């Protein structure tokens, strides 16, 4: 009963929940599209059960976010659940933009964003803080499908001005020399990847980043506990035309599926790669959407949040909790009852 993972822009069907603290009377929860038939009664029962589990999981995750001080994660969840219009996200992000085009640091990293290297945000230089904040803002805008917002172009110009002569983007990272080198790949891949998703990025800067990454790509980097490299290379090569893309993405896809099958990667981490890449699928990887969704639902903690094993408490789990909500909505939208073949 395998199903192809897709990335529709809208989802049919909705179910309402009523969180106790939200200022909105109701929050829309996107649920499974059960289609118009074509499946067996057993299939229908399975999908209906998943629909209910998904709706309940989204409600619990939303309520978890309401208990945390991360207003950005809650805003993203409200927009995802259709309690607020997407333009609100674009507007709020524009309000934290400085005159030079940079944006203030938000909560993506502090909320437990997957793959981000260890940093001391307070110790960063002004330019590094601007670069990190701008990256966070563009990634958030990408998830919210508002990369067309008026502030995006000036943010891209600021980011491009921070590129090093060798094509890399660098933000001070904690750790040894290897950790710093790994971080250079992560920052460069993630920053250039999100620039590639915008309609206003400059080709010369993308090419420079591609040259930097090409000399450092190694299958071992993405295969052996290399999630930061995996998501960064995947992000770049799915969004920036490059002659190295086909081969690199084959390695990334195999590593992603291997991590999922071996459970060395959480399901939320796996889907986060696809969401970040804004990709329907990845070469070298095959996933059953139902299996992915079931695994994501299994990872929810008793308090409604995700990333239960985080050592820094609930406040460090907000980003991954939103990631899980976004994964659930996208996976729900991808499921239909049509038989394979």
pTM as predicted: 0.87
Gap between the terminal Cα atoms of the chain = 10
Residue 32 has pLDDT above 80, yes or no: no
Q: pLDDT grade, residue 40 (50/70/90)?
A: low
Asked if 177 and 258 count as a contact pair (C-beta separation under 8 A), the reply is: no
Cα 21 from Cα 180, distance rounded (Å): 42
Is the per-residue pLDDT at 84 higher than 80?
Answer: yes
Which pLDDT score is estimated for 8? 32
pLDDT at 223: 85
Contacts of 262 (CB under 8 A, 6+ apart): none
| Confidence band of 334 (pLDDT split at 50, 70, 90) | confident
Predicted confidence (pLDDT) at residue 39 exceeds the cutoff of 80 = no
Helical residues (DSSP H) of the chain, grouped into ranges: 41-66, 71-80, 87-94, 126-143, 152-161, 177-197, 203-214, 219-223, 227-239, 245-262, 267-277, 289-298, 318-334
* 115 torsion bin: left (phi>0), alpha (psi -120 to 50), beta (else): left
Burial class (CB in 10 A: 0-12, 13-18, 19+), 45: exposed
Average pLDDT over every residue of 131-152: 97
CB proximity list for 221: less than 8 A, separation 6 or greater:
182, 185, 229, 233
pLDDT exceeding 90 applies to what percent of the chain? 75
pLDDT score, position 271: 96
Q: Is 15 helix (H, G, I), strand (E, B) or coil?
A: strand
Enclosing H/E stretch for 28: strand 27-30
Residue 226 has pLDDT above 50, yes or no: yes
Report, as an integer, the average pLDDT of 32-53. Answer: 65
Please tell me which residue, 94 or 39, carries the higher pLDDT value.
94
Report pLDDT for 43. 73
Query: Cα–Cα distance between 327 and 341 in angstroms, integer?
Result: 26
- pLDDT tens digits, 232-275: 999 999 999 998 899 999 999 999 999 999 999 999 999 999 99
Question: Which band of pLDDT confidence, cut at 50, 70 and 90, is reported for residue 41?
Answer: low
pLDDT tens-digit series, residues 96-136 = 999 999 999 999 999 999 999 999 999 999 999 999 999 99
Annotated domain spans of the chain: 1-97+288-341, 109-285
Which structure tokens are listed for 209? 């980043």
Lowest mean pLDDT among 167-176, 184-193, 219-228: 219-228
């Amino acid at each position: 009963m395998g199903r192809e993972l897709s990335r529709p822009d809208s989802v049919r069907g909705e179910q309402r929940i009523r969180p106790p603290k939200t200022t909105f009377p109701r929050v829309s929860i996107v649920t499974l599209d059960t289609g118009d038939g074509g499946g067996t009664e057993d299939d229908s029962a399975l999908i209906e059960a998943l629909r209910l589990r998904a709706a309940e999981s989204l409600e619990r995750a939303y309520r978890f976010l309401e208990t945390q001080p991360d207003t950005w994660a809650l805003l993203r969840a409200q927009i995802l659940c259709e309690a607020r219009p997407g333009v609100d996200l674009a507007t709020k992000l524009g309000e934290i933009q400085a005159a030079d085009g940079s944006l203030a640091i938000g909560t993506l990293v502090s909320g437990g964003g997957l793959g981000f290297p260890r940093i001391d945000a307070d110790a960063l230089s002004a330019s590094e803080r601007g670069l990190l904040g701008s990256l966070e803002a563009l990634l958030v805008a990408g998830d919210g499908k508002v990369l067309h917002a008026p502030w995006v172009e000036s943010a891209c110009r600021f980011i491009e001005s921070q590129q090093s002569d060798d094509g890399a983007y660098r933000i001070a990272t904690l750790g040894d020399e290897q950790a710093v080198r790994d971080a250079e790949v992560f920052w460069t891949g993630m920053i250039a990847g999100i620039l590639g998703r915008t309609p206003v990025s400059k080709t010369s800067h993308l090419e420079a980043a591609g040259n930097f990454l090409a000399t450092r790509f190694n299958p071992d980097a993405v295969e052996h506990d290399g999630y930061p490299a995996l998501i960064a290379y995947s992000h770049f090569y799915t969004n920036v035309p490059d002659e190295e893309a086909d081969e690199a993405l084959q390695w990334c896809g195999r590593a992603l599926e291997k991590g999922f099958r071996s459970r060395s990667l959480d399901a939320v981490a796996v889907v986060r790669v696809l969401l970040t890449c804004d990709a329907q699928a990845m070469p070298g990887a095959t996933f059953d959407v139902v299996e992915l969704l079931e695994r994501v639902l299994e990872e929810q903690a008793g308090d409604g949040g995700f990333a239960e094993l985080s050592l820094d408490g609930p406040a460090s789990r907000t980003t991954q909790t939103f990631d899980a909500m976004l994964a659930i909505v996208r996976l729900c939208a991808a499921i239909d009852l049509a038989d394979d073949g």
